[in-house]
């Protein structure tokens, strides 16, 4: 029997990345998008322009799908999240139930409050102290209570393959000026997921889903980085573009809380980002023991290669002789 997967929200940043990863791994991929949406010409993806709440139609069109990936996300504002996070979750559960499929969901670290430990494990208590975080906690509680097999794969900040994260919204904006604008305090390490690596992890988990129970939470460690780590790794692509002299590193400049708060008065997205600033004030990492035990070594592109690719996607490619091989690490 062929392996089939339905990606809900396949035109979004994470959705498209994971759809491509499944297709490359030999799965038949159905990519759900909203009616009227423009879609890229991507080999191996059959696009379904069907409303997410039309459960019956989606189950019919994606018949035989054994896995559903919930990649839908509301606009990044408090109002949108309050209105849409839980209804979208219910729709995803209904579709997975109708197909008799496993539902996979990308988790984030919003669930943890400002007093969370520095190493976040799958069973670490979730005590969110923000609106966005509390919504994610309720969402995961709903997944755990379902009769559908559900799997949450939690990761830190995204970088690569698209826009909308701290990396591309804040950090990479001033790189052409030789400046790395960093939201956190110097020396504070946080978790970063290179999106193609996370997408590969989803595929490997899907292929091992029979070894999991009705509900599972897995953590993807990714790269654990602070400002000086980013400063060092971004130097090479910046030198290659003529933004820095050979042997130099970008100047690290802070993103003051007042600047983000001020921007939030004019931008709901910035207001939402400001509400999550506690995640930059204390170090944290993700314990991937359970993930590695299930799939083996975590997919992990070498950091210089991943960072260079992410910069190229945002600012244009330059000739490169870098080794393109992907390695893995526990």
Can you give the pLDDT at residue 41?
82
What are the pLDDT digits (tens) for 221-254? 999 999 999 999 999 999 999 999 998 999 999 8
- CA 241 – CA 51 distance, rounded (Å): 43
Can you give the pLDDT at residue 270?
56
Can you give the pLDDT at residue 1?
65
Spans of the chain below 50 pLDDT: 320-330
Minimal CA–CA distance to 31: which of 90, 141, 180, 22? 22
What are the pLDDT digits (tens) for 152-176? 999 999 999 887 788 888 889 999 9
Residue with the two structure tokens 């975590």: 298
Can you give the pLDDT at residue 275?
59
Can you give the pLDDT at residue 152?
98
Can you give the pLDDT at residue 66?
98
- Reading phi first (left if > 0) and then psi (alpha if -120 to 50, else beta), residue 180 is in beta
Chain centre distance of CA 124: 20
Share of the chain above pLDDT 70, in %: 89
Give the angle 229-255-191 at the CA atoms, nearest 5°: 40
- CA 48 – CA 245 distance, rounded (Å): 48
3-class SS at 234? helix
Spatial neighbors of 330 by CB under 8 A, at least 6 apart, are 288, 292, 297, 298
- CA 295 – CA 1 distance, rounded (Å): 22
220 close to 291: Cβ distance less than 8 angstroms = yes
Can you give the pLDDT at residue 262?
52
Can you give the pLDDT at residue 321?
43
Going from the N-terminus, what domains does the chain have, and what CATH number goes with each? 4-162+193-223+285-301 (3.40.50.720)
Exposed, middle or buried: residue 36 (CB in 10 Å: 0-12, 13-18, 19+)? exposed
């Amino acid at each position: 029997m062929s392996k089939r997967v339905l990606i809900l929200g396949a035109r979004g940043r994470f959705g498209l990345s994971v759809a491509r990863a499944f297709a490359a791994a030999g799965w038949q991929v159905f990519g759900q998008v909203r009616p009227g949406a423009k879609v890229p010409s991507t080999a191996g993806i059959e696009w379904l322009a069907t409303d997410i709440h039309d459960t019956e139609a989606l189950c019919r069109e994606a018949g035989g799908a054994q896995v559903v990936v919930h990649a839908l996300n509301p606009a990044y504002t408090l109002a949108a999240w309050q209105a849409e996070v839980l209804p979208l979750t219910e729709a995803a559960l209904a579709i997975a139930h109708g197909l008799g499929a496993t539902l996979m969901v990308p988790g984030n670290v919003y669930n943890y409050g400002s007093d969370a430990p520095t190493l976040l494990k799958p069973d670490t208590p979730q005590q969110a102290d923000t609106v966005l975080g509390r919504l994610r906690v309720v969402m995961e509680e709903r997944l755990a209570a379902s009769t559908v097999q559900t799997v949450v794969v939690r990761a830190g900040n995204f970088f690569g393959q698209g826009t909308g994260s701290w990396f591309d919204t804040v950090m990479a904006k001033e790189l052409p000026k030789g400046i790395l604008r960093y939201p956190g305090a110097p020396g504070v390490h946080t978790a970063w997921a290179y999106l193609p690596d996370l997408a590969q992890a989803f595929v490997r988990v899907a292929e091992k889903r029979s070894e999991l129970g009705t509900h599972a939470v897995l953590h993807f460690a990714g790269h654990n980085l602070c400002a000086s780590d980013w400063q060092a790794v971004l130097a090479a692509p910046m030198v290659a573009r003529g933004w820095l002299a050979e042997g130099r590193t970008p100047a690290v400049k802070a993103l003051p809380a007042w600047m983000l708060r001020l921007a939030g008065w004019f931008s709901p997205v910035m207001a939402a980002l400001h509400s999550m600033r506690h995640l930059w004030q204390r170090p944290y990492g993700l314990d991937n023991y359970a993930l590695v035990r299930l799939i083996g070594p975590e997919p992990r592109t070498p950091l210089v290669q991943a960072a260079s690719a992410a910069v190229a996607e945002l600012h244009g490619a330059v000739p490169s002789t870098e080794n393109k091989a992907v390695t893995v690490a526990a």
